[in-house]
Chain A
Amino acid sequence: MFALRRAALPTMSLARGYASSGNVSALLLVEHKDNKIAASTLNALTAASGLGGSVTALVAGSAPDTVVAEVSKLAGVSKVLVAKDAAFAHTLPESHASLLVETQKKHGFTHLIAAHSAFGKNVLPRAAALLDVAQISDITAIEGADTFVRPIYAGNAIATVKSNDSIKVITVRGTAFPAAGHQDAAAPHEDAPAVGQKDQSEFVSEHMQKSDRPELDSATRVIAGGRGMKSGENFGLLYDMADKIGAAVGASRAAVDAGYVDNSLQIGQTGKIVAPELYVAVGISGAIQHLAGMKDSKTIVAINKDPEAPIFQVADYGLVADLFTAVPELTKKL
């Protein structure tokens, strides 16, 4: 709860201030997998609602009925457009971008919005180019219907940009907006326009990391390991601690490159961006690119044997110690 309040204050108060201007109609591209809405879509919905106008949700899939029913009950959704077609069985970009363009041509939205997830990043710029408009990527705040805040240079500078295009195409940083809740009455749904464009690519296979722990991007507690972990087996120490406090486990690029853990666990400029209540960095030096992915965490703890490690400059609490003794001791005492 605390996380939601904290995130809500800066963005939502500004957004509400704008709400009176009207004339905004946003289209939200819903991401889903295995009949579940992606958590980041709920954050993007809050951003879309913050623009002050209506929000229409677009759900594309080969069998999207379950997701459509859920989306129609999300707070702030006034209508759901449904594109049911075998072409949308996977998240391939050509058909999805084309669907966005056709939907835009028919309904004339002022804003096209998606989460800044792998899916949103893949599809939205393609649609923006087809509509001949710019995209504003990874926004962290809304200052008006055409003015947005976004980090650049790995989060080391914060840009406020104004779009001069008629349609604003936007991807949203999930951790900067709270997740949308539910509403009582289900929003109505109707069919989205048909799409002629077929995917030129074909889906071959996927390999997803299975885990019972919370998802990295939405976890309230995250424990991350770096090169100092020395091996993949040693990550067991972090899993033990994570399981004790219900945390997700992440990693620095060094740990991923060394093969200790899967790429999908990487936190940083080019990996996941997280902003949990508690971030524990273990054996991570704190390179600029890593800090980009976690420095908005509420409380940062660093455990490192090098007192000069840059991570200590951003850590609220630093413990200079050998992680191989400190982490088991910490796990025991939690």
Chain B
Amino acid sequence: MSNLRILVATKRVVDYAVKIRVNAAGSAVETANVKHSMNPFDEIGTEQAIQIKEALAKSKTGTAEVVVVSCGPAKAQETLRTALAMGADRAIHVDSEEDLQPLAVAKLLKAVVEKEKPDMVILGKQAIDDDSNQTGQMLAGLLNWPQATFASKVELGDKSMTVTREVDGGVETIKTPLPAILTTDLRLNVPRYASLPNIMKAKKKPLAKFAAADLGVDIKPRLQTLKIAEPPKRQGGKLVESVDDLVDKLKNEAKVL
């Protein structure tokens, strides 16, 4: 493998451990003053790109440049700095205050791909806020590139990659020519923590900024949110004393046995 350029898409989302709240108007989830971090699947994507770069450097068979990109408001830059601290080389912020839905993000990323000409684009399989699981596949369609989604293992070959995918009931392995789209599943790797020196170094790494409007793509929302509601509450919390008690309740009260 010679010299690769890998583009990694990252999204700033409400931290996975936060118990979210629906706002009083029932129009959105509260995001002000809530801890945000990089979408966990994008951390895995960033880690994968860095691992590829390190493996190439170690085997002296080539080099890889890792470019991270994020679309969204100014705070998306925090997420990009995190990726730079993990080991990405440079970052691109596509600045937009608009409600960016997957199709819009895919179009913005396509414009970035056309500028950057990467050999591979890595995205998380889904963002844990909107849970759409669409952007990578949409980008692949728009670029007419092959896609390898829900990856749990990646091996680079000569201008190709062999990817093991998590599918219902097991795994499947496909071989895909490059350039290609890869989306990450949880099992692909364990992302590293950024060390303090690397966080300091990341502040000096290049971060380019584009206005979404300048990329000349249609990013208008196609879906309109009419309402956001709390899910129905469960009446939980009844403890039973013994296995006998449990069996009795399941048979005679819940009638599920």
Given contacts A158-B231, A203-B174, contact A93 B147 (CB under 8 A): yes
Which of B3-11, B61-69, B199-207, B247-255 forms contacts with chain A? Answer: B247-255
A-B contact pairs, 23 of them (CB 8 A): A91-B167, A92-B174, A121-B137, A122-B137, A126-B138, A128-B103, A135-B102, A138-B133, A153-B129, A153-B131, A155-B231, A158-B229, A164-B224, A165-B222, A201-B175, A207-B170, A215-B169, A256-B187, A257-B187, A315-B238, A316-B236, A318-B239, A333-B247
Q: Are A134 and B222 in contact (CB under 8 A)?
A: yes
Give the docked Cα–Cα distance between A135 and B130 (Å). Answer: 12
B170 touches A206 (CB 8 A): yes
Task: Give the contacting residue for B152; candidates A164, A165, A263; CB below 8 A.
Answer: A263
Return the contact of B29 from the options A136, A153, A163 (Cβ within 8 A): A153
Distance A133 CA – B246 CA, assembled complex (angstroms): 50
- Please, how many residues of chain B have a CB less than 8 angstroms from a CB on the other chain? 80
Residues of chain A lying within 8 A (CB to CB) of residue B240: 317-319
Roughly how many angstroms separate A138 CA and B133 CA in the complex, as a whole number? 9
The verdict on B223 contacting chain A, using a C-beta distance below 8 Å, is yes
- Asked if B141 contacts A127 (CB within 8 A), the reply is yes
Contacting pair B174 A136 (CB below 8 A):
no
Given A121-B149, A201-B146, A312-B236, A129:B228 Cβ within 8 A: no
Q: How many A-B residue pairs have CB under 8 A?
A: 261
Q: State which residues 117-147 of A face B: CB under 8 Å.
A: 117-119, 121-130, 132-138, 147
Cβ B132 vs Cβ A137 within 8 A:
yes
Q: Digit string of B134-151 for contact with A (CB within 8 Å is 1, else 0)?
A: 111111111001111110
- Picked from A133, A161, A245, the residue with its CB within 8 Å of the CB of B225 is A161
A124 CB to nearest chain B CB (Å): 8
Q: Is there contact, CB below 8 Å, between B150 and A118?
A: yes
* B73 interface residue per 8 A CB criterion: no
Given A159-B228, A318-B238, A206-B173 contact (CB < 8 Å): yes
Assembled-state Cα–Cα distance A132/B169 (Å): 31
Closest CB in chain A relative to B16 CB, distance in Å: 7
- Give the B-binding residues of A (Cβ under 8 A): 38, 90-94, 97, 117-119, 121-130, 132-138, 147, 150-165, 199-209, 215, 217, 221, 245, 253, 256-257, 262-264, 269-270, 272, 277-278, 288-289, 295, 298-301, 307, 312-321, 326, 329-330, 333-334
| Chain B residue contacts of A130, Cβ below 8 A | 141-142
Known pairs A153-B128, A154-B128, A204-B175; A288 contacts B223 (CB<8 A): no
Q: Which residues of A contact B238 (CB under 8 A)?
A: 315-318
Contact residues in B for A321 (Cβ distance below 8 Å): 243
B226 touches A157 (CB 8 A): no
Check A125 against B137 for contact (C-beta < 8 Å): yes
Name the residue in B165, B174, B230 with the highest tally of chain A Cβ atoms < 10 Å from its Cβ: B174
Docked CA distance A155–B229 (Å): 10
- How far is B161's CA from A202's CA once the two chains are assembled, in angstroms? 11
B113 to chain A, nearest CB (A): 13
Residues of A within 8 A of B247 (CB): 330, 333-334
A76 vs chain B, min Cβ distance (A): 23
Say yes or no: is B176 at the interface (Cβ < 8 Å to chain A): yes
CB <8 Å contact, A200 and B130:
no
Q: Which residues B102-120 have CB closer than 8 A to chain A?
A: 102-103, 106
> How distant is the Cα of A156 from the Cα of B141 in the complex, in angstroms?
31
A269 to B40, CA, bound (A): 12
Q: In the complex the two chains form, what is the Cα distance from A122 to B151 in whole Å?
A: 12
User: Which residues of the other chain, A, contact B235 by a CB distance below 8 angstroms?
Assistant: 316
Say yes or no: A136 contacts B223, CB within 8 Å.
yes
Contact, CB under 8 Å: B223 / A161 = yes
- Chain A nearest CB: distance from B194 CB in Å? 22
Given contacts A161-B225, A334-B257, contact A329 B243 (CB under 8 A): yes
Interface status of B60 (Cβ within 8 A of chain A): no
Q: Are B103 and A153 in contact (CB under 8 A)?
A: no
Task: Beyond the given A298-B256, A312-B237, please list 7 additional residue pairs across the A-B interface where CB-CB is below 8 A.
Answer: A127-B141, A153-B128, A159-B228, A162-B223, A201-B174, A206-B171, A312-B239
**Are A157 and B246 within 8 A (Cβ)?**
no
In this complex, what residue of B is CB-closest to A154?
B128
Q: Which residues of B contact A201 (CB under 8 A)?
A: 146-148, 174-177, 180
Q: Across the interface, which residues of A come within 8 angstroms of B152, CB to CB?
A: 263
Q: Which of B103, B222, B226 has the most CB of A within 10 A?
A: B222
Cβ–Cβ < 8 Å partners of A122 in chain B: 137, 147, 149-150
Chain A positions within 8 Å of B16 at CB level: 288-289
Shortest Cβ distance from residue A246 to the other chain B in the assembled complex, whole angstroms:
11
Residues of chain B within 8 A (CB-CB) of A137 are: 131-134
Across-interface contacts of A128 in B (CB, < 8 A): 103, 134, 138, 141
Contact partners of A295 in chain B: CB under 8 A: 231, 234
A157 touches B141 (CB 8 A): no
Enumerate chain A residues within 8 angstroms of B173, measured Cβ to Cβ.
203-206
A133 in contact with B234 (CB, 8 Å):
no
**Does A317 contact B147, Cβ atoms closer than 8 Å?**
no
Alpha-carbon separation in the docked complex, A270 to B152 (Å):
13
Tell me which residues across on chain B come within 8 A of A263, comparing CB atoms.
Answer: 152, 166, 171, 187
Question: What distance in Å separates the Cβ of A232 from its nearest Cβ neighbour in chain B?
Answer: 16
